[in-house]
Chain A
């Protein structure tokens, strides 16, 4: 008997399988929730994996305080709707010391505002496994990532010490001091994420849809001027442009694209026709050669 199963069905089943394996094998897992489209899919799959039960783990959001306002509103809405147990981590010390996304190099800012509070959150609550929405198609060093990715003490990632994975078997037994990152979306592509959001009719942060927004142009990229904390350079004046975002992060570090796609269907159509890979809109990855690999070794997701 031969029958046709769509590639999205195959990916969905695989992700559900990974969620169930990890929840059974790790003592205290947590889901890293970053509010973006990948997190939306991740959360949806987690709900499917444990339906009709409640999620058997909390969700953790690292808030740099520089996230778009609409992201936080979206997060709070769904946390309530899905009855999620939300943990928010913020590096308040660094904020008090004046660390911000415009005076500091993106790699330093990311380390202080994202990696440090992430590690602190994992340590503080004693989480031994953390689900993340990373995909192998995002970037060269992620193409080699495992589904269960192990971190030595201090959350360091050593590409040479990763465990081989074979067949559908997943080994989550931890050695002393080890923790794991779990990537249920490993085999999804950006295209799959959008097609799935469309198929499942998932709500995403409205920032993914084009709208007239206050923007400035800096270094050839369009940034949204979400509030007046970002000092303007001489000659820069916020102007209204119809823009949308392909990825969401801290607004001074996330470039938008000019677009008129205002519905999910139009966005998906535009995205699938786009000829630039999504991370080209993320300023932190272009900072240095092998940027992502370095960040990962230091404990970035």
Chain B
């Protein structure tokens, strides 16, 4: 017998038989993974919805079930499902969710990763960071209240970070007498709202989290609804990592060597597309190409590798590329950019400072910023854009970012992993903002009185001890970054001379 047979309350017995992992043979590797973000405000019953999903459809442990039983509310029959999702002591005391929490559970075929994000307005940044890791988002609303300003705000954040699939869970249907007309009205409002955004798929599902209606199984109270339950819908979404999209990109993380075997592998994770042995790949900064000779891992060599795989690529000729480079398909190369137009979510409590020292962290490069011009802010209530010159925590800003040297970067719409970046405070190291590139340009933003930090100047003095190797180049880059930042914090606009064709 399964453990939950001890619970005799019909309301809380799981509605779907959980996966019974009784032998290794019967518990093979799961065929995939789906990351689900939940967003909604505290009162909408979000933690309850997820708790219910875990309770009904997955492999919860006995002691976790016991915890829920202990948390059973005095007023009623159901356990407090929200206890599964709320973590930190401070949060339990306040009764709100202030940070994103990760939960893992397995259905019969796949791993579901639930990323729970807070719904409060002041935690827009947490939601944005949670959403950036997700494949699909559940937006939860109360059927009595319908689409609110907050739903719009959430949709805007999801769209910004590149999420393509959303589900509107219309909760507490029991409190509107399972009314179809109420649901259809909300569904219509939702469709209208979704037209503004770039979602690939947006569906609305009527649910009642507390009783489990349409969560893991179809509701008997809403025969008029013929669509899938929440769980059924999730099972149909393609798994993470099964659909390589876009042109080949691999940001180089490090160079691995084996001197005995004459091996020099450019190590990284393929961030988009596919690569095969024999393919020609480009280092955009030096504009040089080479052929892929070997795709190596400790286990075996591959003839082909796809998006998401961590490998080491050996080229037929030595391109002298190192960390920070992006290997790319030559026919669809990234821009070697000096200026970005970007949208970003301001994550830091410290507001934007025109004279602050910032760095842009791309997939594997770290580039000093010479100037940021905030152009406008996105008003999440009206979805209108208003001119602005500064921004603060939880703002979504549109800005021009001038880089201290060129780096390979994509438009976010074309390649998410090589088209996103973090803005980092050079002094505290803090992550200041998460950004997506809308336009990348090789042109240098026109500025008056820019001090040019030339290579000649650096190699004669500060970098005279730096060897002429890829590692040396990385160290050279690090030092020039730091000098640029110091000068900038003293109010001097500065640019670092880029390398002529990257020849060392």
Contacts and interface: CB of A to CB of B under 8 A. Distances in A.
Interface of A: 1-10, 12-14, 16-17, 20-21, 23-24, 47-53, 136-137, 140-141, 143-144, 159-160, 162-169, 171, 173-175, 178, 186-187, 189, 191, 195, 198-199, 265, 268-269, 272-277, 280, 289-290, 293
B417 interface: yes
B101 A168 contact: no
B99 A52 contact: no
B256 interface: yes
Nearest to B100: A144
Interface in B246-285: 253-254, 256-258, 261, 263, 265, 267-269, 271, 274
A23 B63 CA distance: 38
Contact of A187 (B113, B265, B274, B363): B113
B430 A7 contact: no
B422 A268 contact: no
A273 B128 contact: no
Nearest to A51: B298
Contact of B361 (A160, A164, A169): A169
Interface of B: 2-3, 20-25, 27, 29-33, 61-64, 86-90, 98-104, 106, 110-111, 113, 125-126, 128-129, 132-133, 161, 238-244, 253-254, 256-258, 261, 263, 265, 267-269, 271, 274, 297-299, 306, 308-310, 312, 323, 347, 359, 361-364, 366, 416-417, 420-422, 424, 426-431, 434
A12 to B, nearest CB: 8
Do most interface residues of chain B lie in helix, strand or loop, or is the interface mixed?
Answer: loop
Residue from A2, A5, A195 having most chain B Cβ neighbours under 10 A: A5
A178 B416 contact: no
Contacts of A144: 87-88, 99-102
A159 B126 CA distance: 13
A10 B87 contact: no
A164 B347 contact: yes
Contact of A272 (B21, B309, B421, B424): B21
B102 A136 contact: yes
Given A2-B238, A20-B268, A173-B429, A191 B310 contact: no
A141 B87 contact: yes
A137 B274 CA distance: 32
B61 A140 contact: no
B144 to A, nearest CB: 30
Given A10-B240, A159-B90, A189-B104, 8 more contacts: A4-B239, A6-B31, A52-B263, A164-B125, A164-B129, A175-B430, A195-B24, A269-B23
A5 B241 CA distance: 7
9 contacts: A4-B239, A5-B308, A51-B298, A52-B261, A141-B89, A169-B362, A169-B421, A269-B23, A277-B63
